[in-house]
Amino acid sequence: MARLFYFNRTMNNIEKLLEIMAALRHPENGCPWDIEQDFSSIVPYTIEEAYEVADAIERGDMAELKDELGDLLFQVVFYAQMASEQGLFDFNDVAQGINAKLVRRHPHVFGDNNTTDKAELERQWEQHKQLERDNKAGRAGALAGIAATLPALRWSQKLQKRAASTGFDWPDIAPVFGKLEEELQELKAEIGQADNQARILDEYGDVLFVCVNLAMHLNINAEQALRHANCKFIERFGLMERLIHRDGASFDDLTLEQMEQYWQRAKQQLATQ
């Protein structure tokens, strides 16, 4: 028999959400699916929800963004509830921790630091984060603490940004182009060798790594740039497909050169919209 929950009318929405989460995890009357989850099993859903937030933002759908942010908040509440059941921490501890961290990392807002220079503020931000990392587990290297489970482009950018904070990076963008050309030549050389897939994979990875560094020098998020390129490709390919069908043809009827002509038509049409 289902257990009825009556919410106090004086509860704010966060308090109500926490009560709902506790009810879902109730060992006797909760939801069987929610009860059987643990920290590891929820991770894929958290990642999915974060990407759905990004997708709503990229499409400019604010109504959906509100909904997706709620789903993402639910993930935080879910973790906090499971931790509370184990006596580790609760949602209030999570909120208290981020409050303290934000105040600590923004002395120019909440303290007596009057710095307004953006570059200096970013340098101080990195110093604060490094100090926090050092205090957590002793100094374990400049690249410690960066999650290897991040999407590869984002992981690469964080690694290179952290390395750059130590001074290990080119001072300007010109050498980056030189390095990219060098890596492309090395990749071409490996492609020319027989049974050489492992080396090709290695060199191709180097090309991507330098491309991420180039994005960093351009102050571009590499992950976001590739997502934008993917969306642009989807839009152009979809229009190309519609143009082909409108002409009574299909991909099977066309040569690569003819497909390219349709592709250029799609690009031009979208550019004038």
Q: State the chain's maximal CA–CA distance in angstroms.
A: 73
Specify the amino acid at residue 184: L
Return phi, psi of residue 92, to 5°.
-60, -40
SS (H, E, C) 140-201: CCCCCCCCCCCCHHHHHHHHHHHHHCCCCCCCCCHHHHHHHHHHHHHHHHHHCCCCCHHHHH
- Alpha carbons 5 and 21: distance in angstroms, whole number: 12
Q: What is the pLDDT of residues 82-109, one digit of tens each?
A: 999 999 999 999 999 999 989 988 888 8
Return phi, psi of residue 4, to 5°.
-95, 135
Query: Mean pLDDT, to the nearest integer, of 41-69?
Result: 93
Q: Which CATH superfamily is domain 13-105 in?
A: MazG-like (1.10.287.1080)
Q: What is the pLDDT of residues 156-175, one digit of tens each?
A: 999 999 899 889 999 999 99
Q: What sections of the chain are H helices per DSSP?
A: 13-24, 32-36, 39-58, 62-85, 91-105, 107-110, 118-137, 152-164, 174-191, 197-217, 222-246, 256-271
- Alpha carbons 200 and 150: distance in angstroms, whole number: 24
Residue 200 in contact with residue 190, Cβ under 8 Å? Answer: yes
Query: Mean pLDDT, to the nearest integer, of 255-271?
Result: 95
The count of other CB atoms within 10 Å of the CB of residue 254 is 15
Confidence at 59, pLDDT banded by 50, 70, 90: confident
**pLDDT for res 1:** 44
Q: Where are the CATH 1.10.287.1080 domain residues in the chain?
A: 13-105
**pLDDT at residue 137 is higher than 80:** no
Tell me the C-alpha to C-alpha distance, in Å, between residue 155 and each of 148, 149, 215, 236. 7, 8, 13, 29
> Which residue did the predictor score with more confidence, 239 or 118?
239
Query: Mean pLDDT, to the nearest integer, of 49-63?
Result: 92
Whole-prediction pTM: 0.67
Task: Indicate the DSSP class of residue 61.
Answer: -
Specify the amino acid at residue 217: H
- Alpha carbons 224 and 158: distance in angstroms, whole number: 14
